[in-house]
Homo-oligomer: A and B are copies of this chain.
Amino acid sequence: MTFNNDMNGHHIVIIGGGFGGLYAAKALGNSTVRVILVDKRNFHLFQPLLYQIAIGGLSPGDIASPLRSVLNKYKNINVIKAEVVDIEPEIRKVIFRDGELFYDTLIIATGATYNYFGHKSWPNVAPGIKTIEDTIDIRHRIFLAFEGAEREEDPIKRKDWMRFVIIGAGPTGVELAGALGELANDTLKNDFRNIIPSESEILLLEGTDGILPTYPPKLSIKAKESLERLGVTVQTNTMVTDISENSVTIKKGEKTGQIYARTILWAAGVKASSLGMILSEKIGSELDSVGRVIVKEDLSVQGFPDIFVIGDLANFSYQNGYPLPGVAPVAMQQGLYVANLLKKRMKGEIIPPFRYQNKGNLAVIGRNAAVADFGRFQFSGFFAWLIWVFVHIRYLIEFDNKVLVLIQWAWNYFTWKRGARLITGEDTLLFSENHKNRLKN
């Protein structure tokens, strides 16, 4: 396979405007190649702060940046809003649901979605935090639960409204549980007359034997302590075997049990975007158990040096035998790597294989508490939280001038305000016809 050395004629198509796709595009900006970034949404979403929308701390607009405005200074980059449904690698064509596009080089960065392990009814009863729409649905459920409890007179039913189950104690589940704990203990403290929000039960269920399984055990224990201080009950070694409308069936060793709750949220495991499956069918790409594409050491796909897979869709296991984690820094570094490789390739040069430089992992557990793992250095508590705020604000500023929004948000963190706790969308009845309640005057 030969490469077109006429850079003016070289067309790079990037599918996906997440961290991987966006960093690849930016690194190719104002070069002489032509780049088309295709995404089914018109915005880049800062997913690490998505859980803040669920608890009303941030609005969608605060953590989303229009792809066109992020990239508009690069005249060689065009953005197309379209959904890719197929790829024909033999003729270098990408097929949209409503159009098509040829490429010389293709970068696939379509990420991952929640994995319900084949349970078709679970997404409806236990939504996951992955898209803006899902997260607004979750915000709706959380705040409606408090409204329902406020109006409920039956003490048992009231407890069901005030019980929140979060399934999965990776970073998203832990951050969500911590934020929910703060919401109940502090933000809503004075807002109700019939209930005491801090009496909410927040249960965090995890299948393995500790929370934040990819973090060092010391930090995992610190995180658990911080959650408990916020009133979160952590149950490890707990498998979820079924979820229905208002209940979760669990298995803990030999024992099984059932938890009733009006609000059940899913943060357990992801599966790769369906484009991996297309590569598997069309060109026999090998996939791992969650559908990620096993990439070569230069992030290209076996047999197709003009197709790269980066970010959460890629399984890259050359550093310690384990796949790199599905986090933003991996995707960013991979995007930069592929952009650099392509620029060199067009000059006839080659670069060494991709290597991820782990600059640290951070998870926040409510106001003033976080855990930070920088390999040699590990922090927890307020200092880790400050690092976390700093890192997140730095990344957000990079895309968009949202400085003041973030200062406002950091300020609200200290004053417990949550301005964005709107219940929008379809009107939901709190009480069905058969148990109409009568409010005492």
Residue A357 CB within 8 A of the other chain: no
Given A68-B192, A72-B190, A61-B420 contact (CB < 8 Å):
yes
Q: State the interface size on chain A (CB cutoff 8 A).
A: 77
Contacts of A158-197 to chain B: CB distance below 8 A: 188, 190-194
A388 → B minimal CB distance (Å): 20
| Chain B residues within 8 Å of A150, by CB | 80
Given A151-B82, A151-B99, A42-B143 contact (CB < 8 Å):
yes
B438 touches A99 (CB 8 A): yes
Task: Give the residue name and chain of the B residue nearest to A408 (CB).
Answer: B404
Given A411-B404, A423-B41, A431-B69 contact (CB < 8 Å):
no
CA A432 – CA B97 in complex, angstroms? 9
Residue A34 CB within 8 A of the other chain: yes
Q: Out of B73, B81, B430, name the residue touching A430 (CB < 8 Å).
A: B81
Residue A64 CB within 8 A of the other chain: yes
CA A73 – CA B98 in complex, angstroms? 54
Residue A405 CB within 8 A of the other chain: yes
Chain B CB within 10 Å — which of A66, A98, A143, A436 has the most? A66
A34 touches B441 (CB 8 A): yes
| Chain B residues within 8 Å of A420, by CB | 59-61, 64
| Chain B residues within 8 Å of A97, by CB | 429
Q: Out of B43, B56, B72, B437, name the residue touching A422 (CB < 8 Å).
A: B43
Q: Out of B11, B81, B192, name the residue touching A423 (CB < 8 Å).
A: B81
Point out residues on A near B: beta carbons under 8 Å: 11, 34, 36, 40-43, 56, 58-62, 64-66, 68-69, 72-73, 78-83, 97-103, 132-133, 143-144, 147, 150-151, 188, 190-194, 400-405, 407-408, 411-412, 415, 417-425, 427, 429-433, 436-439, 441
Given A99-B437, A436-B100, A66-B419 contact (CB < 8 Å):
yes
B441 touches A101 (CB 8 A): yes
| Chain B residues within 8 Å of A404, by CB | 404-405, 407-408, 411
A80 touches B427 (CB 8 A): no
Chain B CB within 10 Å — which of A97, A405, A419 has the most? A419
Closest 3 CB pairs of A and B: A61-B420, A59-B61, A59-B59
Q: Out of B78, B103, B437, name the residue touching A193 (CB < 8 Å).
A: B78
| Chain B residues within 8 Å of A36, by CB | 439, 441
Given A81-B430, A407-B404, A427-B40, A436-B191 contact (CB < 8 Å):
no
A441 touches B103 (CB 8 A): yes
A46 → B minimal CB distance (Å): 12
A sample of 8 cross-chain residue pairs with beta-carbon separation below 8 angstroms, ordered by A number, consists of A41-B422, A43-B422, A61-B422, A98-B431, A99-B436, A132-B424, A404-B408, A405-B419
